[in-house]
Amino acid sequence: MTATISSLLLDWYDAHARDLPWRSPPGGERPDPYRVWLSEVMLQQTTVAAVKPYFAKFTKSWSDVEALAAAPEAEVMAAWAGLGYYSRARNLVKCAAEVAAMGGFPETEAGLRKLPGVGDYTAAAIAAIAFGERAVVVDANVERVVARLFAIDEPLPGARKAIRMRADAITPDERAGDFAQAMMDLGSGICTARDAKCLLCPLSAKCEGRASGDPLRLPVKAPKKAKPRRTGTAFWIEHKGAVWLVKRPGKGMLGGMRALPDDGWSARGDGDGDAPVSGAWKGGGVVRHSFTHFDLELGVAVHAGKQPAPEGEGEWWPVERIDDAGLPTLFAKAAQLILADRD
């Protein structure tokens, strides 16, 4: 049964593989490890559609890992703006520097796992796809396919051990990278979270979830906990056509990014810090943003005084070029709110 599953899936992949800019054709030469690594880091908790333009921008600006390692961190962080999960960008810079110093990427799963920002899944994916090592690659799509294929009905996250064992059992010794990508494609396009297109699935005849009559119930997920809600304030201080921006601390929420000054919501929960300048303020509206572990309502306060002199380090950024500042999505929303109201 094991050989049948892998051969059926690889035959399907040969005919239906997605054309993605970081991939090589099925059965072709192995892709550049740099492009595989970059795509896998970007794809963590992010859709293919969202990643494509960022991948194109990064590979145009920095064509290899040596170029990325030599790039100023501020430029990399600005190019990443809007993609979210900014710790990935900080680790990207650290990892590029380490790989460049090593003279290239480690070629084993164990070696790759030692790099900054490279966890078990990413190490396995790079090892299999870029270096042809037999590695067991399990992301959310693979997790879902395997849970349905073998009708694993233990709730997550407890089921992950059994899912990994089953994934290991069906991973072939040859073409492990193509097999991993085939599983990803199957989970993203055929065996999706909201649908199970069993009539189009190359593994339907072997699928225990389909045989049970209700594959969509798998994998069984634990009930979601309600996210806590935080509140805070960002401050819009404008002078002579420029807005005051600060650089956030390297560690913590949105670390190392340009941003509007705020009242400390990210550190203390509900914001209670002081405004960066004294004087009159007026309300500019509220933006809402969802982070992984909490939802945020961020009020935007607009300075109504004249010739402000903010305390601390920062820079005056031309309002007409605010889109070039590389603001993370939260603060880009706040800027858009202010400018839309002005228009």
Active centre residues (catalytic): 40
How many CB atoms are closer than 10 A to CB 251?
Answer: 9
Residue 62: which residues within 8 A CB-CB, separation 6 or more? 68, 71
Amino acid at 230: R
Output b/e per residue, 159-191; b: 16+ Cβ within 10 A.
beeebbebbeebbbeebbbbbbbbbbbbbbebb
For residue 261, give the nearest of 281, 277, 285 by alpha carbon. Answer: 277
| Residue 124 CA: distances (Å) to CA of 49, 107, 266, 337 | 23, 11, 33, 42
